[in-house]
């Protein structure tokens, strides 16, 4: 039996709509396609969701 893909770790980039996998427990993740950084939030069931863009990098 093949290992099932970790769908919970997949998010969709809000900038270019690319689907990519984030590290479990990560607070931020960068889209491999457009390199936009996103803040990740985690649901109780372990599902990752994009909260919004990471601004701190550009501000400081
Ligand atoms: Zn993207």
30 and 36 in contact (C-beta within 8 Å)? yes
Is the pLDDT at 2 greater than 90? The verdict is no
Biggest CA pair distance of the chain: 48
Q: How far is the CA of 19 from the centre of ligand 1 (A)?
A: 8
- Give dist(CA 25, CA 6) in Å, integer: 13
- Give dist(CA 46, CA 29) in Å, integer: 16
Q: Is the pTM of this model over 0.85?
A: no
Query: Which of 3-7, 34-38, 39-43 has the weakest average pLDDT?
Result: 3-7
Q: How far is the CA of 37 from the centre of ligand 1 (A)?
A: 8
Q: How far is the CA of 42 from the centre of ligand 1 (A)?
A: 19
Q: Domain-by-domain residue ranges, the chain?
A: 27-60
Q: How far is the CA of 1 from the centre of ligand 1 (A)?
A: 32
More confident residue, 2 or 54: 54
DSSP structure string for 24-60: TT-SEEE-TTT--EEEEEE-TTS-EEEEEE--HHHH-
């Amino acid at each position: 039996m093949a290992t099932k893909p970790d769908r919970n770790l997949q998010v969709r980039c809000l900038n270019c709509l690319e689907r990519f996998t984030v590290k479990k427990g990560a607070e931020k993740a960068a889209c491999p396609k457009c390199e936009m950084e996103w803040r990740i939030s985690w649901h109780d069931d372990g599902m990752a969701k994009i909260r919004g863009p990471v601004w701190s990098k550009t501000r400081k």
